[in-house]
Chains A and B, each alone.
Chain A
Amino acid sequence: MPRPPLIVRWLAPALAAGLALLPGCFTNKQHQGERLYAQHCAGCHGEQGQGLGTLIPPLAGSDYLAGHRAQLGCIIRQGLRGPIVVNGVRYNQQMLGVQDTATHRHLSPAQITNLLNYIEGHWGNRPGPAGPRTIAETQAQLRACGER
């Protein structure tokens, strides 16, 4: 098995890193939530938030999501483990806290805010009476579970 030439082995990660940085320069806040969802959540929760069988709970039409508005910031940061019930189905799995896999950095409060506003406003989900989230709300949630 020939190893790829040295130049390829160095260039590829460099290029990838460059590409990862690029979106930062042209941030399109409106679509940031959608992008983050596709990047970090869709693999498990499905492109339309439908979940995966009864292995991964749905986010679309999830009563758990609607009922835990104040915890969602921390769920994204720290993950979730242990038995929960979503729309009458019991799940007892583990979800890891979401990190940027390229940088191993946490999602920022602003990113989490955009992501949750996207989830809470799509696939039939409606933001609660309090309306869309603000970054200040997310920051307060994160502080409450010892995060920043």
Chain B
Amino acid sequence: MFLKSLLRRGTLPLLAGAALLLAGCQDEPRRLPILGERDVRANPNGGPADTIFATVPAFRAHDQNGKLLTNQSLAGQVYLTDFFFATCPGICPKMNGELLKVYQKFGQTPGLHFVSFTIDPDHDTTAVLHDYAQRLGAPAEANWRFVRTSKDSVFALARGLFTAAMPDKAAPGGFAHNGTFALVDGRGHVRGLYDSLDPKEVARLQEELPLLLAEAQESRKKS
């Protein structure tokens, strides 16, 4: 249900609005909310209940250079994701073009990674991904990984990252999907969702990304 309603336009701004309102109540440096389902478990010892937040589903993927990428290898790192396919005649060029702009601004930040998942792993082999990354202008050997994993895994991942993506014969290129960017923290919690096709949303991402990077730096200092 949640995913369906996400597909409907207007949900992202609503979420964003809610996040803004929430943030307004705090005096501390603004913290991005944790998005998604949560589970409150009673504490058997009678203390305060624990809140368990949803995390990104586990995945094993390979990037444009054949290197393995998993959620463990990204533990402790902030990352930004999107879903695309190389032959996408629809929104992908615009979406990855926007991600490229964000990359050009923030790509050099230590502890920040960019991950673009192909939703067409049958076609998008390592070689195709390599060519795509190069054509897009993403620097080689960089922290922007164009990755493929199994079909099942990538659609489960898309759901976990609040991105609508599914095979659809009627859609341009054979897949229906939207252009969501998801911002994930070092513990695998989704902290921000942005519609890449809306310049205001991309601007919001550029405002919020430093907040999460600061928080990540803070928690690295503590540990």
Which A residues have a C-beta under 8 Å from some C-beta of B? 1, 3-4, 8-9, 12, 43-44, 46, 52-56, 79, 93-96
Contacts and interface: CB of A to CB of B under 8 A. Distances in A.
Given A95-B89, A96-B89, A4 B14 contact: yes
Contacts of B29: none
Contacts of B217: none
Nearest to A1: B2
B135 A53 contact: yes
Given A4-B14, A12-B10, A55-B136, A93 B2 contact: no
B94 A94 contact: no
Nearest to A3: B5
Contacts of B8: 9
B interface, size bucket:
20 to 34
Contact of A56 (B11, B93, B134): B93
A52 B136 CA distance: 6
Contacts of A52: 93, 96-97, 100, 136-137
A55 B173 CA distance: 16
A93 B136 contact: no
A86 to B, nearest CB: 13
Interface of B: 1-2, 5, 8-11, 14, 87, 89-91, 93-94, 96-97, 100, 132, 134-137, 172-173, 197
Contacts of A96: 89-90, 172
A43 B136 contact: no
Contacts of B137: 52-54
Contacts of A95: 89
A102 to B, nearest CB: 12
Nearest to A52: B97
Contact of A1 (B1, B94, B173): B1
A52 to B, nearest CB: 5
A66 B122 CA distance: 37
Contacts of B172: 96
A4 B136 contact: no
Contacts of B134: 53-54
A54 B8 CA distance: 33
Contacts of A93: 87, 89
Nearest to A94: B89
A55 B1 contact: no
A10 to B, nearest CB: 12
Given A8-B10, A52-B97, A53-B137, 14 more contacts: A1-B2, A1-B11, A4-B10, A4-B11, A12-B10, A43-B91, A43-B94, A44-B93, A44-B97, A46-B97, A52-B93, A52-B137, A56-B93, A96-B89
A148 to B, nearest CB: 23
Nearest to A42: B94
24 contacts: A1-B5, A1-B11, A43-B94, A43-B97, A44-B93, A44-B94, A52-B96, A52-B97, A52-B137, A53-B135, A53-B136, A53-B137, A54-B134, A54-B135, A54-B137, A55-B93, A55-B132, A55-B136, A93-B87, A94-B89, A94-B173, A95-B89, A96-B90, A96-B172
